[in-house]
Structure 1
Amino acid sequence: MRGELLNVWDKVWPDVFVKLSKHKDAPDELFSELYEAIIRAPVLPIEPAEPTQYDENGLLIDPDEIAAEAAYKVALEAFNAARSHYEQAISGNAKARRWLRIELPQHVTSESKALFALAEVHAKLRDISDDALVNRYFQLVEGFIDKYSLRYDLRRPFSLHPTLPGIFARMVRNLKLAAQTDAHLASSFHEFEDALRDLTAEQTPNRIKTCISKQTNFLEAIGQLAPNVTGNTLGAICNQVGTWPHEKLKESVKGIYGFASDYPGIRHGGTPANQLREIEMRDLVAVCVVMFGFSPYLTDQLNSDDIYAIGEVA
């Protein structure tokens, strides 16, 4: 799952906007309408306060006021040029198509802006066209999400919602980003990824045990950085983080840690008598998903609202 729309935003142009323009009901000025929907109008700069210090010839003498006037003049000239360009683009100019294609990356610079742009295009189409073109746009965006395995579910009339696979993918991605802030964390996460990749070659019990062991090591490494944590084992970290809404959740993680410590060959020699069967791939999938699923309790480096949300317009 690629997850983020911004990662494939450059593909929106050919896969959505160009295809939309070929619909029989698309107006000639479609790209001007799209430009107005996506590109924000330039904002008039704030005029500086009225100057207070002049010489006998009526010229400004205060350095700060002189600098403020000069900066305002430059900003005003830039605004006038941008406004002229914007008005041309939204008035049906034949160059609007090229301008929009060139300027999209400059204006859509975050996930929330990309999502907002898609929603604004839908709103614009509802204002200027019939249901056939609006429905075509919905289908194109829906197909785009499926094609690139994005973390959203599109619902009518036009609203994007996070999916469970998308939430998990974003959480793991954010864990990896958090790991990059610390050399030990980065190394620990890299070792887990290497162990996971090794299973492609051969899915042996030993490799499965190594993968679970490396993931436990990573959770211990990131958990040790949580506030008020002094322990260095997953069990001790669970007791100290103070993030659990219920004791049973804490005991669940400690139980998985106990499994990793007691099952022969994962973290220690373990207790052979407690082994019910040989470890297999179903255990890898279940344990790895569950352990990462508990990671928001073990670190303050994840923003759970951000992991779920599609984001506010920035």
Structure 2
Amino acid sequence: MSIQKWFQDLITQLDPQNVKIDEALHLHTMTRMGGIADLFVTPETEEQVAFVVQYAYENKIPLLLLGNGSNMVVRDGGVRGIVLCLEKLNKIKIVGNRVIAESGSDIIDVSRAVAKETLSGLEFACGIPGSVGGAMAMNAGAYGGEVQDVILQCTVLTQSGEKLILSKEELELGYRKSIITKKGYYVLSAEFELQKGKQEEIDAKVADLTFQRESKQPLEYPSAGSVFKRPPGYFAGKLIQDSGLQGKGFGGAEVSTKHAGFIINKNNATATDYISTIEMVKKTVKENFDIDLELEVKIVGENKE
């Protein structure tokens, strides 16, 4: 089957404007890097998502889920098959002390929306640069809070397109992992249960966490966020800093001088520059401390020929 055939089949259910051939992925990643996607699809409804997932499964077409591109490095050769972007599934609905958020909504936006309704529990997410789907898959956390503290249930599609509603226990949430990543599920929406709080306390906490993030993280440059998971008993950023790697890198990529846990796209870096810098960091920390840093970011796609 040709890419043109995929396109024709998909636009039977999706608006043609939401199915793009040869889309540049650097336009959709927070690193501002990445090659071309054969087909880039942005469904507007859960039914359309299910159609795309089932179509790819039945026709054995590779399918890559791209959230808001915050935790991903796309290689310079791009991605073959279909890239599924859920940014148009971004509705947020608050009922009582619960919030239902579609997978493409930014977790920051959900955090802000519930804070305005005097609901407490998602303040920790006010600075996490990811989508709800990504936050669910990774059990995202910051400043002492994690998704697993507030999640009630999550609606997903299996790789064959079957819809499942998973309880907190069924999600098997752990440190930066879940059944979602283990099984390759596609998140449609998540329901969180929060507590009524005091507006001034919620606002103060959000303001404090926002200040901490903005003062300590290199938000002025494109990046994939925190690159490495926290090794047991250590902090990745401290190990990298103590290795003297800040300011070092390849091409336009550099270990941030503001926060060593971040690798920034300082000057038109390629994905090859970025990945080479990641490997240099891993190798140096291993040599200095005998600790294997594990990636928190996902590296996808093909190398450029």
Q: Please report the TM-score for the alignment, with normalisation by the length of structure 2.
A: 0.23
Choose between structure 1 and 2: higher helix proportion. 1
Choose between structure 1 and 2: higher strand proportion. 2
Q: Please report the TM-score for the alignment, with normalisation by the length of structure 1.
A: 0.23
